[in-house]
Structure 1
Amino acid sequence: MTFRSRILSTLCLTLALGAGFGMSSAMADSAATAPQQPKDALPLKELQAFSEIFQRIKQDYVKPVSDKELLDNAIQGMLSGLDPHSAYLDANAFKQLQIDTTGEFGGLGIVVGTKDGFIQVISPIDDTPAQRAGIKPGDIITRINGESVQGIGLDKAVKMMRGKPGTEVKLEVVREGENKPLNFTLKREVIRVDSVKSRMLEPGYGYVRITSFQANTPASLKKAIDQLDRDNKGPLKGLVLDLRNNPGGVLNAAVGVSDTFLNKGLIVYTKGRMPGSDLRYDATPGDILHGAPMVVLVNGGTASAAEIVSGALKDNHRALIVGTRTFGKGSVQTVLPLSRDTAVKLTTALYFTPNGHSIQAEGIEPNIVVEPLAVGKSLTEGFKALREADLSGHLANPDGKVQPRANGKGDPGLARSDFQLYEALTVLKSLVLSAGFHGRSAG
């Protein structure tokens, strides 16, 4: 029996109970003296209230509403009330989720969440219409094509922004520090998310950016590092791994990326209530860099799977983490199919770094805090990046405590077009010098 069928069966039972609402006093007395229901028994009083509201809407709402629409809305409300990441996936949303994991879709290239009923940008995807137009993390989208998005839900907002490549979308955006809304007209493109990009920073020093975690990301990462070795005409002295504004993705991809740089040790473990939700992921021998120093760049847009990698490399003392505190999404979502084309995306577990730290609503504190700077002005001036703890209904951190927060800032006199990357390279060179590392063996 499907999830929807169980709800319909329960609703029918409740409606039948509601039909006998005017029960006799003898029946009421009998009910009062009856033993308490088991803990997992149906909450009949609440279900009866649900059925009465259902009937009132059917009879009295200003326009006819189908049973399917009412039940879909009820299911969506049930899930959205749990946390910001649980959701009912109808046929369109389920299909879109499958498209997302392949890394290709038609849209603007924005990763979004919800805040106070509005849609808020977590991060734009590199080399997409949103990124090129200047959409920034923390921007609040208030209107899409002139229609207010307050209260419409995340799935509908995403559906409005995606569509046929070549068509235009108008966004009204509120940005902290701006006196009035900003208006953008963007043209949809086929968004092919190439999750791994790489280049040489200087002779001996490589740079790899991972924009999201897809099923093929670990394999793409290995190819990128092999190419860097060829470009360098020898093994790298050190590597900067850039995970800034990486919204996450597939858990197994994060494990694979972490394992690429580790010879041994725990990568991540998860804890939940479902059978099989307590999982442990350990590294296998084979560090692709053979111990060459690493720096991982992070910021407030580094979330979920990207935080797994950051935490694994930090706790295993494999890399120094440089940048600003990460987003703090430490929960695991499981997609539970209901039928061929619908599913529930449900938060089923929390993940923990090797040292046993939950980053839920807290994030990962860098070893070295470096704020982003532009020439003569801080990019964070008057701006507070959106984090998991800012999302309505977020899960609390199970550790029950708040990490101490470092307050280091970069020196404005060292400003570059990408100050954080400049500082990360400086740190990497220091690591190489202090370790006396001049390049790993090719074997």
Structure 2
Amino acid sequence: MKFKSLKIKNYIQDALVDLNFQDLTPIQEEVIPKALEGQSIVGKSPTGTGKTHCFLIPIANEVKPNLKEVQVVIIVPTRELGQQIYDELKKITRYSPEYIDLRLYVGGGRRDEEIKRLELSQPQVVIGTIGKIEDLAFNENLLKIYTANVLVIDEADMVFTPEDMTRIDQIFGQFKENIQSLVFSATITDELSRFIDKYLNKSVNVDLSGKKISKDSIKHVFIKTKNKDKNNQLLELFKIMNPYLVLLFANTLEEVDNLSNFLGTNGYPNVKLDSSLKPRERRNVLARIKKGEYQYVVASDLAARGMDITGVSLVVNYSLPTDIKYYIHRSGRTARFKDTGKVISLLDFDDEKYLARLHGRGLDIYFGEIVEGMFKETKYQERKKNKYDEEIEVLHVKYPLPPKVKPNYRKRRKEKIAKETRQIKRKRVEDIYKRKAKND
């Protein structure tokens, strides 16, 4: 399906031609016509498939420039994603014959100026984080989000965290009952699922991910680094490969600092992208990356949340995130749209369960090994479960996690499961020694 076949305003078509938008992606083909009809939608698709324009194009088409009130609210998890969406919407609306008031409300903005401007007029499209929208709409009582006809939640699995659910309920309680809701995510978390059941039970579900949590155009490779120096493994890898642009992820700010320093002292100039940077510094770093000034970028998970950096050919997980949701968002920084990419993870722990979970959710996994200056890959084969694995899995049924729990229940549940898991593993080792002694 071609963009020119969409029934949208001429000025939007002109902007899309300038942007060289020709063919809709599968998720766009499913969502945009429905969104233009006013339907509420929950869209699930791997990152890098064009979800952002699924809502930007219908929004631009429906905003009434002569109506000077909030018409659209777009909620995002981070300031960087908010800035990115703001910039893209400016491109799509730039040929509008009448001014459309778009405003970005994220951390790091000039609050006094935002308040003064709100005292004079309301924006027509609000793009912001939960905290900033809550501040201006409730604490200051200046941002009139209750007039909105459209609500968008992008990267929803990152927005709907357990600690933010109360604030989300408060914000959602301000909207009209018949508001059009457009929710997009790469994964559906428990919190997001409960929100959908509560507020969006009449929405259309568009799921183009199937069982897969990542695009087929991304190759996932794991290098076992047990008893090996991870830093040296990384240097060997970069000697073999010469990627166009690399995003290296670490779990902590300390790891980011150490990795950045190590690469720099070994002849790999790089830049850091993490939460220690001030908003202006982050914008400058992103601008320099997009200009091609850096080949190596060392980042925390901040950079994985919906940020679109063109040309990332390789993602390296220096340390793997414990939450698979973050693995998905990290890997989604490569192979944007029709590109291909690779994710290489340094596996410094023997976690068969981690790999099995990824494999079970549709990822084709490979093991990588550097042999005589060559990078060799072999396909992952999931180990068959034994009775001990099954006993460990039963623990999660034995100690269920209901939607509402008492304080500290999660912690106590985790401790009980961990304790009994250790007991099962000890029994397994004892049984192995007993069998060996019997055979001897």
TM-score (structure 1 length as normaliser): 0.27
Max Rg structure: 1
The structure, 1 or 2, with the larger RCO (C-alpha pairs under 8 Å, 6+ apart) is: 2
TM-score (structure 2 length as normaliser): 0.27
More helix as a share of residues: 2
More strand as a share of residues: 1
